[in-house]
Amino acid sequence: MLKIQNLQVAYGGIQALRGIDMEVPDGKIVTLIGANGAGKSTTLRTISGLVKAKSGSITYNGEELIGKPINAILAAGIAQVPEGRRVFPDMTVLENLKIGAYLRKDKEEIEKDIEWVYELFPRLKERNWQLAGTLSGGEQQMLAVGRGLMSRPKVLMMDEPSLGLAPLVVQGIFDIIREINRQGVTILLIEQNANMALKIADLAYVLETGTITMSGTGAKLLADEKVKEAYLGKKRSK
């Protein structure tokens, strides 16, 4: 279980996270929703070690992650799919996947995992030798997810996988997320598309300007009036 306690993060003088607590139980899909600037990405980047925390603790199975280098956190089994895909444009699809397995040394297992990713995303197999920069947005997102899986993570954190994609493609990505989870990978999903995210989430948190204001099962938040009003686009009744 990934556990965050009283986490505070500040960029210079600006407090991005004001002490949040959340839990990501093993095998579940957990989602964190919130508006722009609420601190969603900061939370994710702090877990992965790209941003330094001011105070608080992040533990994974009891092991403290704050202060550890990025590669140690990745080796512990927590990988991320960064916001905006960020595939390596001038490298082939295959090379991108291999970079995802950069910290691993077990060549045969890596080959197997490449096949696994190709099974999940047959489209990537077709484009094996294409440069990642020439893929469509949806395919790049698939590649980003596949690349994240190549480190064989126990927890996969995804930052807005639906960003800038057509609704049909988004549906496909969410189906895959569910499939990956069914195969035993814990998912921490950050989304602005609250509707989609809450539908597949076992557990959900709502983040507002650096504080968690609500939590519960996905279904519960989906039915909540306040959430509906703020994130699902329901008109205020007079």
Partner 1 sequence: MKKKTIGKEYIFTALILFVVLAVTMVLDSQLPSYHIVIKVIKKASVYSLVAVSMNLLNGFTGLFSLGQAGFMLLGAYSYAVLCIPVAKRAGVYQYFDGGIVKFSLPEVFAGFLGDKVGAAVGMILALLVGGLIAAFFAYLIGLPVLRLKSDYLAIATLGFAEIMRTIIQWNAIGPLTNASNLLKGYPDFSSATAYLLLIGVFIACVVLLVNSTYGRAFKAIRDDEVAAEAMGINLAHHKRLAFVISSFFAGVGGGMLAMYMGAVPAMSFRSSMTYEILLLVVIGGIGSITGSVLTSFLYIAALEWLLRGLDTGKFLGITAPGLFKNGFRMAVISVIIMVVVLFFRKGIMGDKELPDLLRRHTKKGGGEK
* Tokens linked to 97: 């996947």
Of 48, 162, 181, 193, which one interacts with partner 1 (CB under 8 A)?
48
**Closest CB 73 distance from partner 1, rounded Å:** 9
Q: Using the rule CB under 8 A, which residue among 10, 51, 99, 176 binds partner 1?
A: 99
Long-range contacts of 102-108 (CB under 8 A, 24+ apart): 102/151, 103/71, 103/74, 103/75, 103/151, 104/151, 104/152
User: Residue 174: what residue type?
Assistant: F
Sign of the CA dihedral with 219 first, then 36, 24, and 139 last? positive
In angstroms, give the least distance from the CB of 65 to partner 1.
14
Closer CB to partner 1, 147 or 185, in the complex: 147
Residues 145-174 that bind partner 1 (CB under 8 A): 147, 151
Place of tokens 């069914």: 182
- Among 52, 55, 67, 102, contact with partner 1 (rule: CB under 8 A): 102
Site for partner 1 in 28-47 (CB under 8 A): none
Q: In terms of residues, how long is the chain? A: 238
**Closest approach of partner 1 to the CB of residue 89, in Å:** 6
Closer to partner 1 at the Cβ: 143 or 222? Answer: 143
Among 9, 38, 114, 222, binds partner 1 (CB under 8 A): 114
Bridge partners (DSSP) listed for residue 9: 17
CB of residue 236 to partner 1, shortest distance in Å: 39
According to the binding rule CB under 8 A, does residue 50 interact with partner 1? yes
What is the Cα–Cα distance from 20 to 9, expressed in whole angstroms? 10
Q: How far is CA 8 from the centre of its chain?
A: 20
DSSP category for residue 58: E
Alpha-carbon distance of 140 to 85, in angstroms, equals 7
Q: How many Å apart are CA 191 and CA 33, to the nearest integer? A: 5
**Among 39, 82, 138, 153, which residue interacts with partner 1 (rule: CB under 8 A)?**
82
Which one, 75 or 169, has the nearer CB to partner 1? Answer: 75
Which residues sit at the interface with partner 1, rule CB under 8 A? 48, 50, 69-71, 74-75, 80, 82, 86-91, 95, 98-100, 102-103, 111, 114-115, 129, 147, 151
